Structure 1
Amino acid sequence: MKVNLAYTMQQFQDWFTQQWVILSGRQFDPINYSWLIGPFGNLNGIGEVFINELAATENLIIKRNTESTGLLSSIQLLDFKEDELNNLSRKVIDFYENTSDYELQFLVKWNPFFIPFGYIVNRLFSKRINQLNIPIRNLKNSEAITSEIISLISPDNQQVKYTIWLRKFKSSNRIIYSGVYGTCKLPSGRTCIKAVFPLPKGNATVILNPSVGNNGELILDSSGKKYGDAGFYFLLNDRGGNYWSRFVSTFKDKLVVYEDENGSLYAKQNLEIWKNNVATFTYKIILKND
């Protein structure tokens, strides 16, 4: 019986996580799973190194520090019905279509039970790979976060192939998130937002189902129940070049982007594991020129 193994010449914690994906997940053909596949990281760090390596590998042009560039080129990509689109806050739409014009203020509140778990993830993975650097403490005062949209462009047709949202703490210049953002169409035909966070020899992919709330808020929810739904996926390449994925149904991510009664723009993100709240992140979204 053939045993598939993760790439061996890497940190043990990365190998162990990848081997878990192989043993508990499923092998897939990326050609037939375009809704799921996204860029993979290499072994020598993620962060901004990944952006340069991806551009070099695929012969793409890096375009940075451009104004009025969004996570979405148009909110129409989410295939909302006309009444949903008419109800959606104009400020929320502007944020998604012109994300680079905004910066963020960040607060985090942890469930005390999960702080040790967050600390372990931070020590074993986040600091080393320069990705998902979430503070492992409750913040009494909000921290400023820079928000940059980086476009990787094909030189042949000048079309954007990848949109990367790079967020850093202003105080330390440390990367909190570096992800590739876009949309995908699930096997069900539902259009979702897809965020791909590169990891060594793989990635963590979060697929979020969009809807519009009664008060014009945008709701992004990863609460799928089975493989092929919106949700959280680990993807990787093994040492033989095979592709593997693992749907993690116990992990839920819900983000609500809304305009409050004073016209200020906020986002609230709740992370859950096994139906328990892990942490709540609150972002105040501010126009840079205000």
Structure 2
Amino acid sequence: MSHWLDAGVRGFWRVAGRAVNLAGDDSWLAAPTSLSPRVADSWLDAEAERLGGRLEHNSVGGGLLPSMAMLDGPGFSAAALRPEIRDFYEHTADWRLEVWSAWSPLFWPGGELISRLYGRRVEQLALPMRPLDVAHGMDSRVTLISDAAGAQVGAAWERMLRGSGRHVFSGCYSARRLPGSDHMSVHVAFPLEAGNVQVFLRPSVTAEGALLLESPSGRFGEDGAYVVVEERGSAHAVRVPLHETFHVYVDPAGVLRTDHELRLRGRWVTRLHYRLERREA
């Protein structure tokens, strides 16, 4: 049953999307995929092989980006960020997180259906549906991905429910410049069997030194969310009307926090709140 369901979903995205050349003009969409239906961390070895590089598992002090200065450009200066925020992104493995979730009543039934049929089974994009789902907290693990020259080209950030050990998210983080763009974007790819979901987030800094990451509405080739399917010797991609905002800030008590909102077109779908603290604390 699940095999036919997954194949049907990929077939839908092939029809809805456009043909892309991931080795040519559309290489900005080249990203890890999973070779098996259950994602978890199964994609890591294949990605290292594709890049001709190596993996550094359970990296101590490893970050989602080697330096936030990689994003410097119009509308963004890493030097203007609060130092706690820079430290989190550059040394993510040194931080632990607690999370709370809330769902829009309008989208909760659809989210629950997707979670039951898909997210929990494949252990990817399995958004927590109820506050008690994350009552015991969330663990995370960072694996650095290096190219043949030893330079960090990506970082896998896996998040697991502390109570069950089940994967919730498994994403590959890097910085990329979209074709014709004047700025760098934070690129996050969530591998799936024979494809992935990708988000390109535009960074900016508030007057208080907080970080905003946004995937706004726009055209194909601009910041936003994409679904890519690689199957039958070809690749197809479609831009989807999912929009995200991350607000990473230090509260008046000196605690690092993140507000994450996911929207479908103009309506909010789910909101996540993260409390972040250094492990030695």
* TM-score higher than 0.5: yes
1:133 Cα deviation after fit: 2.0
Q: How far did residue 140 of structure 1 move? A: 9.4
User: For residue 267 of structure 2, what is the aligned residue in structure 1?
Assistant: 276
Deviation, structure 1 residue 164 = 0.5
In structure 2, do the counterparts of structure 1 residues 227 and 141 end up closer, same or farther at CA, with 3 Å as the change threshold? closer
Match of 1:164 among 130, 141, 156: 156
Identical aligned pairs, as a percentage? 27
Q: 1:262 to 1:236 in 2, by over 3 A?
A: same
Partner SS, residue 49 of structure 1: coil
Q: Per-residue CA shift, 1:222-252, capped at 9, x if unaligned? A: 013110111110001132x11110001x211
Moved over 3 A (4+): 52-60, 80-86, 138-143
2:108 to 78, 97, 115: 115
Q: Which residue of 1 aligns with 2:247?
A: 256
C-alpha separation between the residues in 2 aligned to 1:18 and 1:141? Answer: 30
Unaligned runs of at least 5 residues, structure 2: none
Cα pair 2:32 2:43 within 8 Å, conserved: no
Shift in CA distance, 186/82, structure 1 to aligned 2, threshold 3 Å: closer
Task: State the distance in 2 between where 1:254 and 1:130 align.
Answer: 23
Tell me by how many angstroms 1:99 deviates: 0.5
TM-score normalized by structure 2? 0.92
Alpha-carbon deviations, 1:164-220, whole Å to 9, x = none?
011112221111110010011012322100000001100000110111112211000
Residue ranges of structure 1 left out of the alignment (5+ in a row): 1-8
Shift of 1:280: 0.4
Higher alpha-carbon deviation: 125-134 or 88-97: 125-134
TM-score (norm 1): 0.89
| Cα gap change, 1:140 to 1:167, in 2 (>3 Å) | closer
Return the alpha-carbon distance in structure 2 between the equivalents of residues 50 and 73 of structure 1: 21
1:77, CA displacement in angstroms?
0.5
Which residue in the other structure is 2:218 paired with?
Answer: 225
Query: 1:45-124 alignment to 2 at 5 Å?
Result: 45-55=38-48, 60-80=53-73, 84-124=77-117
- Paired residues, what number? 279
| CA displacement 1:54-88 (0-9 Å, x = unmatched) | 34565543311222111010011102469843431
- Bigger shift: 225-234 or 12-21? 12-21
Report what 1:14 is aligned to: 6
Say which of 175, 178, 184 aligns to 2:170: 178
Cα separation, 1, equivalents of 2:134 and 2:196: 31
d(CA) in 1 for partners of 2:117, 2:280: 38
Instruction: State whether residues 107 and 143 of structure 1, in contact with CA within 8 Å, keep that contact through their aligned partners in structure 2.
Output: no
Q: What is the CA-CA distance between 1:13 and the residue it aligns to?
A: 2.1
2:257 aligned residue: 266
Q: How much does 1:10 deviate? A: 7.5
User: Helix, strand or coil: the match of 1:52?
Assistant: helix
